[in-house]
Structure 1
C-alpha cells in the first residue's frame, strides 16, 4: 500500500506548476564552469550543459546542488537549474544535499529583488508552502528550528515578521511546535544567541522581540484555556509561562 503524502510534500507539489512556468523561458547555459578538483567532474559538467533541464535527475544534479554558487556555476545557470533543483528537493530525491541545504542556496542570489516578479512570486510561494507544511505536520519531515532559520536566511528581511505571524495561524499543531520552540530556545533567543546553526545574524533579536510582543503568549495560553484537560495542555501552559514576563 502506498503511504500517504505528508503535508509538506503535498504543499510543495502544489507550487511546482507556477515555478516551472515562471522559469520556462530561462535559456539553458551553453557551458557550466566549476572546480573539477573535488567538487564536480568534467563529465558531470558536460551533462549539465547538454541535457534538457527536465531530463536531469538527482544523480546528475547532486554535485551541482551541493556546490552551486560556491565552487560551481554562476547566477545565470543557477537561475536555469533552480526549478528542477526545487522540484527534486520536494521529495528529497538527492541522497545529498537535503532539502534545507538546497533551499539555502537562494541566499546567494538576488531572487527577490533582481529576478522577474513572476519568478520571485513563485519562489516565495514555494517557501511559504514549506513553512506551512512544516507547521501543520505533527511530525515534520524537516526540523522546525532549521526551517525557520533557513527562511530567515533566504527571505528578504521585510518578510520575517510575516513568517512569524503565520505561526499563530496554523492551528493547534503549529502552536504545539511554537510551544516546543519556546521551551527549547526562548532563553538563548532572548540572549541573542542562535537557536540553530543556520540562523543568520540579527535573526534571534527579531524572534525575541516577537516572542515578547504578547501575541505568542496569548495564542499559547488560549490553547491551554480551550482544553485545560487535554493531554498536551501542559505544553501550552508551560510555554506561555515562559513568555508571560518576556
Structure 2
C-alpha cells in the first residue's frame, strides 16, 4: 500500500491548547485541572542537589516564582534530573502538576515524557491525593491517541510513558483492541510498523525508554504476540468496508500472524 505519513508526535500549542484537526478539549481541561488539584501542596524550603553536579541556588527560581508561571527555563533541568542528582519526592510532588502541563505543551526545553513518567512511578504518584487528576490526564491522552488525527503524542511514546507510570496497561490495551474507529486502526498500524521490531520470533517495542523488568512491558509483548491483538484485527475485517482502511487492517494482520509462534513467556524480557 502507499506509504503512510508519519503522524505528528507533538502538535505544539500553549500549555493547554491542543493544535489538531479536531482539538480535544478533554485533554486541555484535564491539564488545566492539575493547577487546582495541586494548589494545596506547599513548596519545600529548598531543593537539594548533588554538590558535585549543581549548586542549591541553581534551583532557587523554581521556588521563588509562582508555580503556574514556571516554564521549561526553570523546570527543564529539574524534571530531567529529579530523583537522581536533584530533589526529592517532596519537591517532585509540589512541582508534578506544572511539569505535566509543560510536558504536554509547546515548551521544547522539557525532557522526553518517558523520562518524567518513570520518575512519577518512582515517587509513588498513585498514593498522592492528586492521583485522580493525574490519571485523568493519562486517560485524556489515551483517548486523544485513539480518536484524534493527528494525536497529541506519538503512539510509541505515549504507550511507553504510560507503561512506565502505571501499574498495568491492560485496560489501555483492552480499549485499543476495540478498534472502533479508523484512527485506532491506524495507530495500531503505526505502532507495529514503526514502533516495534521483530526479535526471536517476537514483536517487541523499539522505544529505548521501556523498562523490561516492569509488568507493563510483559503485558504489551503478550498482547502483541499471544493473540489478543491478532484477534482484534481479525474482528476488524467485519467492522469496516472502506477499501483503504481494510488495506491497513490487512497489513497489520500480516505482521501479527508472522510473530508470536513458539515463544516462551520467560523469554519476553
* TM-score category (smaller protein): 0.7 to 0.9
Distance 1:36 1:10 in 2: 43
Contact kept? 1:92, 1:98, Cα under 8 Å: no
Q: 1:206 to 1:4 in 2, by over 3 A?
A: closer
Deviation at 1:213, TM superposition (A): 5.4
Could you say which structure has the higher helix fraction? 1
Q: TM-score, normalised by structure 2?
A: 0.75
Moved more, 45-54 or 91-100: 91-100
Structure 1 residue ranges without an equivalent (≥5) = none
Contact kept? 2:237, 2:249, Cα under 8 Å: yes
Contact kept? 1:145, 1:196, Cα under 8 Å: yes
Distance 1:10 1:103 in 2: 22
Aligned to 1:140: 151
Q: TM-score, normalised by structure 1?
A: 0.81
Distance 2:23 2:95 in 1: 22
Contact kept? 1:180, 1:235, Cα under 8 Å: no
Q: Which secondary structure does the structure 1 equivalent of 2:244 belong to?
A: coil
Number of residue pairs aligned between Structure 1 and Structure 2: 239
Q: Which secondary structure does the structure 2 equivalent of 1:31 belong to?
A: coil
Name which of 60, 67, 72 aligns with 1:46: 60
Deviation at 1:212, TM superposition (A): 4.6
Contact kept? 2:30, 2:137, Cα under 8 Å: yes
Moved more, 170-179 or 218-227: 218-227
Deviation at 1:72, TM superposition (A): 1.0
Deviation at 1:84, TM superposition (A): 1.0
Structure 2 residue ranges without an equivalent (≥5) = 1-12, 261-269
Deviation at 1:141, TM superposition (A): 4.0
Aligned to 1:65: 79
Distance 2:18 2:172 in 1: 27
Instruction: Considering Cα pairs closer than 8 Å and 6+ residues apart, tell me whether 1 or 2 has the greater RCO.
Output: 2
CA deviations over 1:173-226 (Å, ceiling 9, x no partner): 112111332345374495385432112225443223223554433432343344
Q: 1:152 to 1:101 in 2, by over 3 A?
A: same
Contact kept? 2:75, 2:110, Cα under 8 Å: no
Distance 1:126 1:189 in 2: 36
Contact kept? 2:115, 2:209, Cα under 8 Å: no
Aligned to 2:94: 80
Does 2:233 align with 1:223? no
